[in-house]
Structure 1
Amino acid sequence: MAFFAYLITDGSYACTTPGAFAKHLGELFAAQKIDYALYRDKSNPDYERFASVFVDECHMHGIKAMLHRDAALAVALGADGVHLTSTQFDAVAGAKAQGLFTVVSTHSAVEAMHAAAEGADAITYSPIFESPGKGAPKGLEDLNETAGKIDLPVIALGGIVSPAQISAVHAAGAAGFASIRYFINSAKESFCSK
């Protein structure tokens, strides 16, 4: 698997209407090299409707669409995969049985090995660099050691906002990088106006 880019959304990607969301996603996807994208917005009460728009926009741009936590919704909306939290190890087998590419969030080597044992397709490992509210960074050496302990792709996450950091995690053994801020910071304009 080639080194890949994984966009993760949060509240900073929020738009007031699905139409505005689709427009801004389309612009972002056209301007960036993105292989996978995760729709993650815990505060959106209309998550399902916006998730449907997200999946459609991803597919129009050749991007693998991932949904957060909910394998059943991912299947219903035709998403390519699901990104499970570090409390959902027991959901890996069910997600895989439904044909979903299954990523698990991990924050320690023990969690990474647990995800691998459960049959996950990949993990995110975080935080690698300083990231607001995410605790002490793991650092590149820890990333390298963890990637060497498991036989599945490790996606570096946390505080990755520059090309230099992307190169550093690649050199440390990550199969890809994930970020929220990198993709918005790299765009010429902000996402949706509040």
Structure 2
Amino acid sequence: MRKPIKAYLITEPTLYPKTPSEFHDFYIRILQKHSIDFAAYRDKESHFSPALMEVFLNLNRSYGISSLLNSNLDLALEFGFDGVHCNGTQIRQIKAAREKLPLVFFSAHSLQEIQEADKQGANGITISPIFKTPNKGTPLGIDFLNSIEPKNLKAELFALGGIITQAQLQEIATTKIQNFASIRYFLG
């Protein structure tokens, strides 16, 4: 029997409010609407706001959601995140991060990267882009997801990229991949 699909929310600072009270109200509406298993606080410009991270962490704790911080192990440890999400250039940091945090995810864009991240000990691996998404190149597609054998990997796999509709989730559910991650899906 197929296990339930897991949901992984990833924030995007350009799409979220900037003040703690507005962020709180905005984010709590998302949490009330969606069932989320993992959430990553992401800020690719590295302007991590301590006040926003505290709101993020506190709300996730109250909803039983595991919190990851994108690309910054030191801040993840300092603020008490459950894990870190390593970007494509941080594959060699997975083992060290696993020694310090229970959850280490990785962003993969090819089968080779998936296999290497799994070998390094990642708990979760996002695979992207699956569907067309702004500034991310040619989508890997549903056929790519079907070509992966999750049973040969220790890490959980998450389809990512351009996932904004329920129809796309239904397409993913027909594949061997059990989970999805998205930025924009949770905003709708």
Same topology, TM > 0.5: yes
CA distance in 2, matches of 1:3, 1:157: 13
Q: Which runs of 5+ in 2 are unaligned?
A: none
Q: Which residue of structure 2 aligns with residue 81 of structure 1?
A: 83
- C-alpha spacing 1:24/1:77, structure 2 compared with 1 (3 Å): same
Shift of 1:82: 0.9
Give the alignment's Cα RMSD to 1 decimal. 1.7
C-alpha contact 1:147 1:154 (8 A) present in aligned 2: no
Q: Which residue of structure 1 aligns with residue 23 of structure 2?
A: 21
Q: Which residue of structure 1 aligns with residue 182 of structure 2?
A: 179
Q: Return the match for 2:9 from 7, 11, 14.
A: 7
Q: Which residue of structure 2 aligns with residue 115 of structure 1?
A: 117
Q: Return the match for 1:167 from 167, 170, 185.
A: 170
- C-alpha spacing 1:52/1:24, structure 2 compared with 1 (3 Å): same
Q: Which residue of structure 2 aligns with residue 129 of structure 1?
A: 131
TM-score, normalising length: structure 1:
0.88
CA distance in 2, matches of 1:151, 1:16: 37
- C-alpha spacing 1:107/1:115, structure 2 compared with 1 (3 Å): same
Q: Which runs of 5+ in 1 are unaligned?
A: 186-194
C-alpha contact 2:123 2:154 (8 A) present in aligned 1: no
TM-score, normalising length: structure 2:
0.91
Query: Matched residue of 1:105: which SS?
Result: strand
Q: Which residue of structure 2 aligns with residue 192 of structure 1?
A: none
Count residues in correspondence.
185
- C-alpha spacing 1:2/1:116, structure 2 compared with 1 (3 Å): same
CA distance in 2, matches of 1:38, 1:123: 13
CA distance in 2, matches of 1:101, 1:151: 13
